[in-house]
Amino acid sequence: RRSLGQKIETDTQVYLADSMGEMWLWYALSQVCFVGGSLNEPGGGHNILEPIALNVATVLGKNYFNFQTIVDEFVAIQGVKVVEDAEQAAKVLMALLNDHSAAEQLNQHAQKIMLQNKGSLAKHIAVIDQYL
């Protein structure tokens, strides 16, 4: 457990990253990821843009209404995988880990959306500045 200061050893099979403000680190170390909060009821999901921005193949559950518009855009071009339950999540994650070309293709599709929306922050600031 990260919160207990335990280290990752060569025989560590599971490491619980139960700390705040460090998801970027764990995503950056990952080949694939599951974005949580999207399998439980009612769910809602968390931000998929973080792992995608770090070129990590991304899987999430079916309950992603907190990010509906964003996720739908990635789903439409097969830039993320949406699963129904934890068992399917495990299977999809293992498949992506074992098939680097499938993970890379998923990531390449996701990067198209990221590229299309590049500079959106600056555009939004410019619009807001008009009213200040």
For 37, half-sphere exposure in the C-beta direction (CA atoms, 13 angstrom radius) is 9
CATH of 31-129, one of 3.40.1440.60, 3.40.50.2000, 3.40.50.720, 3.90.79.10: 3.40.50.2000
Mean pLDDT by 10 residues, the chain (132 residues): 92 86 90 93 92 97 95 97 97 97 97 92 92 92
pLDDT given at position 34: 95
Please tell me the predicted confidence (pLDDT) of residue 61: 97
Q: What is the pLDDT of residue 15?
A: 85
Kind and range of the H or E run holding 60? strand 57-61
Whole-number pLDDT of residue 19: 85
pLDDT at 121: 87
Query: What pTM did the predictor assign?
Result: 0.84
| Extents of the domains making up the chain | 31-129
Q: 77: number of CA atoms within 13 Å, CB side?
A: 15
Whole-number pLDDT of residue 14: 84
- Name residues whose C-beta falls within 8 Å of residue 36's C-beta, 6 or more positions apart in sequence: 45, 46
For residue 99, what are the β-bridge partners?
none
Q: What is the pLDDT of residue 5?
A: 92
Token pair 């999430």: residue: 60
Q: Which two tokens stand for residue 61?
A: 């559950």
Whole-number pLDDT of residue 117: 87
